[in-house]
């Protein structure tokens, strides 16, 4: 239960063997490379400035092109392959391959032929869609003229007459009939805006008629079609139906590309990880033939790293491990190591900030309080039992990624205090099962409030205790007394004064008043000791003494343990009360059961959300502020990306 001990390694290897070495280290997944090409790093290591910056090799563009093909294929097929249900996808176990096995499968596969076939199908569907759109557009243009019972090509055969086929605004219909009284005019159809017509005029009168029509906003019908409009409309609609059938056949064929998709997914994993290996070279320096590689590695992995290096490089390498230096503390990546219970709560620490390398891992000190506070806020044995059953079944039957698995375990562990406090409060889905718990939530409000504040006092003093221990371990025992001891004396004395007043014990009030004054004087005298002037020391001391009000605010914050716990139970009880008011046994059984499930599920989700958020708040604000600063960065090893398969070591 600590921060994993790290050391820095320096490796010199021949450039010709770098690619194979990186492949093994990617599968090893326990090395974080230092960016030796960073200008700030080079500024502080002038001896390295004469080395050449390593670069991405010339095959990178080809690999990226291949990956683009793979991504295109996957995205296209995802639109047509049957969607897996969430439960089925979670239950499906990924295949496991080594890097070598993956490379062998991909290079021997026909994924590029599959890509070409997919591209062809995509082109066919696109062409069919374009044709369908074009035909529908033609039909839309022809519909107003479906009453024209001659072929459009016959109009071009007219020699002594001129024709006009088109439309004018509805408001101009009477005008054209009156104005063109020496022409033959036939109204084809109308819509909301336009009147569609056909007109014939003498050849010598063509320009006069055209000028008149233009004044009325004439829009001529233009088309390359030659057949009768009604026949064209029928033929085009029939072709549109056939296009739908052709598309259906293609989509049905694509829906059967399950095996092709698996091949493409293997190619995705291969090229994604290959590109990662090629990109990582931008962290290295080199001479003409030798690469310089530096990075961080857990001390416990040194031997494995050495064996991998020897297997790939033989005796042609230089490898050195260095202990962490004081000036490197802020640069060291942080990896936590805890037992299964505390590991599930590492996300709580990580969301706030990881510790620095010379700090402590607060996770083991967070876990018991988080469990207690969450359980006290949700506090329903029925809800806890549901959490326990659902998480256990999920862990048994579903295949989760590591982060998701930790989150499921997180709520599994939280189910136990939820059940415990639920039984203490006599709450199972509110009051669906009536029994007397250790605490009656309907009467013992003060008991629950005192219990909440007591937990707050314990956590606050525990945080101060951790701070004292850390200072003592750093050889700063006097600072521990000044920065922690003075506050402990003052806070305990204030608590004693309050107890003396409430219990009317004069001796207790007198003794605690004396120690309270002594503690306050100690705070004023020591908290400003870093200031250079006497005025500055006293001013800083007085300001810090005023901070005692923040402790009072912190303590009051713990009353939310009572408020949220009682609120969730009250809502659950109210739900049960409403259900009991439904008349008739059938109504109660059918409608009541449905309402019970819906509203209790909503209340459960709200209770879980409240418990999760408010426990985080108590942890980060009231607890961590007493002893923990954080500031560390997570260990980010060079590792394989596993989206569709599990990549394992050789």
Question: In which residue ranges of the chain is CATH 3.30.70.240 found?
Answer: 1-54+284-336
CB 348 within 8 A of CB 363: yes
Query: To which residue do tokens 């604000």 refer?
Result: 621
pLDDT at residue 409, rounded to an integer: 95
Q: Indicate the DSSP class of residue 481.
A: I
CATH number of 150-227: 3.30.70.100
In whole angstroms, give the CA distance from residue 511 to residue 493: 8
CA–CA distance, 216 with 42 (Å, rounded to integer): 79
Residues near 244 by Cβ (< 8 Å), separated by ≥ 6? 132
Q: What pLDDT, on the 0 to 100 scale, is given for residue 90? A: 63
CB 222 within 8 A of CB 213: no
Alpha helices in 442-547 (DSSP H): 445-473, 477-480, 486-503, 506-526, 534-546
pLDDT score at 95? 84
Indicate the class that CATH gives domain 1-54+284-336: alpha beta
Q: With DSSP H G I counted as helix, E B as strand and the rest as coil, what are the percentages for the chain, rounded to 5?
A: 65, 10, 25
Distances (CA, A) of 579 to 385, 433, 434: 22, 14, 16
Return d(Cα 84, Cα 103) in angstroms, integer: 27
Can you tell me the distance from the alpha carbon of 600 to that of 429, in angstroms, rounded to the nearest whole number?
7
Instruction: Work out whether strand 6-14 and strand 194-202 pair parallel, antiparallel, or are unpaired.
Output: unpaired
3-state secondary structure of 322: strand
Identify the helix (H) or strand (E) that includes residue 293.
Answer: strand 290-298
Helix (H, G, I), strand (E, B) or coil at 186: strand
Enter the tokens of residue 162. 């001129």
Residues 551-580: b if buried by 16+ CB within 10 A, e if exposed: beebbebbebbbebbbbbbebbbebbeebe
- Nearest of 311, 325, 360 to residue 8 by alpha carbon: 325
Res 86: pLDDT: 65
Report pLDDT for 587: 60
Q: What's the average pLDDT block by block, 10 residues per block, for the chain (650 residues)?
A: 89 91 92 89 76 81 93 94 73 80 91 95 95 93 90 86 91 85 87 90 87 89 88 93 94 92 94 92 88 94 94 91 89 93 93 91 95 94 93 88 90 95 90 81 85 92 90 84 81 78 76 79 76 75 73 87 87 80 69 82 91 94 90 92 82
Where does the chain hold its CATH 3.30.70.100 domain(s)? 150-227
């Amino acid at each position: 239960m600590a921060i994993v001990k790290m050391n820095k390694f320096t490796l010199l290897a021949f450039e010709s063997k770098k690619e194979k070495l990186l492949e093994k280290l990617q599968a090893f997944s326990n090395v974080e490379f230092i960016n030796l090409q960073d200008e700030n790093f080079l500024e502080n290591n002038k001896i390295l400035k004469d080395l050449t910056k390593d670069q991405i090799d010339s095959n990178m563009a080809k690999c990226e092109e291949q990956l683009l093909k793979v991504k295109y294929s996957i995205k296209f097929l995802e639109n047509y392959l049957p969607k897996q249900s969430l439960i089925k996808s979670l239950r499906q176990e990924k295949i496991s391959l080594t890097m070598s096995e993956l490379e062998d499968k991909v290079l021997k596969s026909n994924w590029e032929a599959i890509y070409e076939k997919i591209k062809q199908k995509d082109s066919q569907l696109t062409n069919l869609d374009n044709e369908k759109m074009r035909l529908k557009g033609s039909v839309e243009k022809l519909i107003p003229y479906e009453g024209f019972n001659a072929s459009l090509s016959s109009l071009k055969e007219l020699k002594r007459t001129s024709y006009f086929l088109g439309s004018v605004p509805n408001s101009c219909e009477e005008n054209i009939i009156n104005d063109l009284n020496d022409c033959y005019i036939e109204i084809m159809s109308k819509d909301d805006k336009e009147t569609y017509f056909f007109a014939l005029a003498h050849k010598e009168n063509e320009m006069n008629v055209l000028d008149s029509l233009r004044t009325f906003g004439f829009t001529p019908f233009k088309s390359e079609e030659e057949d009768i409009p009604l026949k064209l409309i029928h033929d085009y609609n029939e072709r549109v139906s056939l296009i739908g059938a052709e598309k259906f056949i293609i989509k049905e064929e694509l829906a059967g590309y399950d095996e092709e998709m698996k091949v493409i997914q293997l190619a995705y994993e291969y090229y994604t990880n290959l590109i990662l290996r090629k990109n990582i070279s931008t962290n290295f320096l080199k001479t003409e033939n030798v690469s310089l590689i530096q990075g961080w590695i857990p001390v416990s992995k040194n031997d494995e790293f050495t064996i991998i290096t020897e297997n790939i490089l033989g005796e042609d390498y230089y490898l050195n491990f260095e202990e962490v230096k004081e000036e490197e503390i802020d640069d060291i990546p942080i990896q936590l190591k805890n037992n299964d219970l505390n590991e599930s709560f590492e996300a709580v620490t990580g969301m706030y900030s990881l510790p620095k390398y010379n700090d402590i891992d607060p996770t083991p000190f967070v876990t018991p309080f988080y469990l207690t506070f969450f359980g006290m806020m949700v506090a329903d044995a029925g809800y806890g039992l549901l959490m326990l059953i659902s998480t256990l079944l999920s862990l048994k039957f579903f295949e989760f990624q590591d982060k998701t698995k930790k989150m499921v375990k997180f709520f599994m562990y939280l189910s136990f205090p939820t059940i415990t406090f639920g039984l203490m409060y006599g709450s199972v889905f509110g009051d669906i099962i009536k029994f007397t718990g250790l605490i009656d939530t309907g009467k013992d409000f003060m008991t629950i409030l005192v219990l909440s504040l007591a937990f707050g006092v314990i956590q606050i003093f525990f945080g101060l205790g951790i701070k004292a221990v850390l200072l003592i371990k750093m050889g700063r025992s006097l600072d521990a007394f000044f920065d922690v001891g003075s506050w402990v004396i003052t806070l305990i004395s204030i608590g004693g004064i309050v107890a003396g007043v409430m219990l009317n014990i004069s001796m207790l009030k007198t003794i605690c008043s004396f120690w309270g004054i002594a503690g306050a004087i100690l705070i004023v005298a020591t908290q400003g000791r870093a200031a250079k002037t006497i005025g500055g020391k006293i001013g800083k001391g007085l300001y810090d003494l005023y901070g005692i009000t923040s402790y009072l605010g912190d303590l009051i914050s713990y009353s939310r343990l009572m408020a949220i716990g009682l609120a969730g139970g009250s809502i659950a009880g109210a739900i049960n009360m409403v259900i009991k008011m439904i008349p008739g046994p059938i109504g109660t059984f059918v409608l009541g059961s449905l309402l019970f499930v819906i509203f209790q599920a909503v209340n459960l989700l709200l209770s879980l959300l409240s418990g999760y958020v408010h426990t985080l708040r108590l942890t980060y604000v009231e607890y961590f502020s007493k002893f923990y600063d954080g500031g560390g960065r997570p260990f980010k090893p060079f590792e394989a990306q596993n989206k569709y398969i599990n990549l394992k070591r050789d």
